[in-house]
Structure 1
């Protein structure tokens, strides 16, 4: 039994595999005004499609759908099998709330209520 596939069939299978990976992830990277879908991500970096992504360097924002996950400093590390891999130099997690410049006690009141006036 042979495992040979004609080049046209192999190219079609590779294209279908890339399309399925692109649709399966919600992660994307924004650099300036441009946005690129992330093929896969790991602790030390992420991979973009080599055909559409430039060799990015510097500050980018990593999103999961519309939610900002982090701001990252990145460098392009290698290109292999149609993927352009990037490594994090620094990653800063995004938070939903503003940081406080003072200590807030866990049992502190949420708001102060004034005297109740009768109408």
Structure 2
């Protein structure tokens, strides 16, 4: 059995699929002052709507809602089905603490107690 879908209906279905993905996904990529909604996120890259995003390249920041979680070096790889795919050359997790140059032990005191003699 063969099913034929007119181009207008197919375009409407594709637009509804993209709208649902945008609503469901809170990820966004920021480059400079521009921000774009991520449609799909994989461990080696992400996709954006081809109509919204230019051919991005270079250093970008990925946010999950308001939380900055990755700083990435990206390159545009391919366009397929109205989505532009970007691959990571480097993806570095963002932390809220500065790096330390020593090993932290398992026991870390919450604070120091002064001796009664003041020393």
**CA deviation after TM superposition for structure 1 residue 5, in Å:** 2.2
**CA deviation after TM superposition for structure 1 residue 6, in Å:** 2.5
Q: Which runs of 5+ in 1 are unaligned?
A: none
Aligned to 1:35: 35
Q: Secondary structure at the match of 1:30?
A: strand
Give every structure 1 segment of 4 or more consecutive aligned residues whose post-TM-superposition deviation is greater than 6 Å. none
Aligned to 2:78: 78
Aligned ranges for residues 1-119 of structure 1 at < 5 Å? Answer: 2-115=2-115
Q: Give the aligned CA root-mean-square deviation in angstroms.
A: 1.7
* Cα distance in structure 1, aligned partners of 2:33 and 2:100: 30
Q: TM-score, normalised by structure 1?
A: 0.88
* Cα distance in structure 2, aligned partners of 1:84 and 1:104: 42
**CA deviation after TM superposition for structure 1 residue 12, in Å:** 1.3
1:67-110 per-position Cα deviation (integer Å, ceiling 9, x unaligned): 11110000000101000000000110111322223333222312
**CA deviation after TM superposition for structure 1 residue 13, in Å:** 1.4
* Cα distance in structure 2, aligned partners of 1:52 and 1:87: 18
Q: Secondary structure at the match of 1:74?
A: strand
* Cα distance in structure 1, aligned partners of 2:85 and 2:94: 22
Q: TM-score, normalised by structure 2?
A: 0.88
**CA deviation after TM superposition for structure 1 residue 2, in Å:** 4.7
* Cα distance in structure 2, aligned partners of 1:104 and 1:41: 33
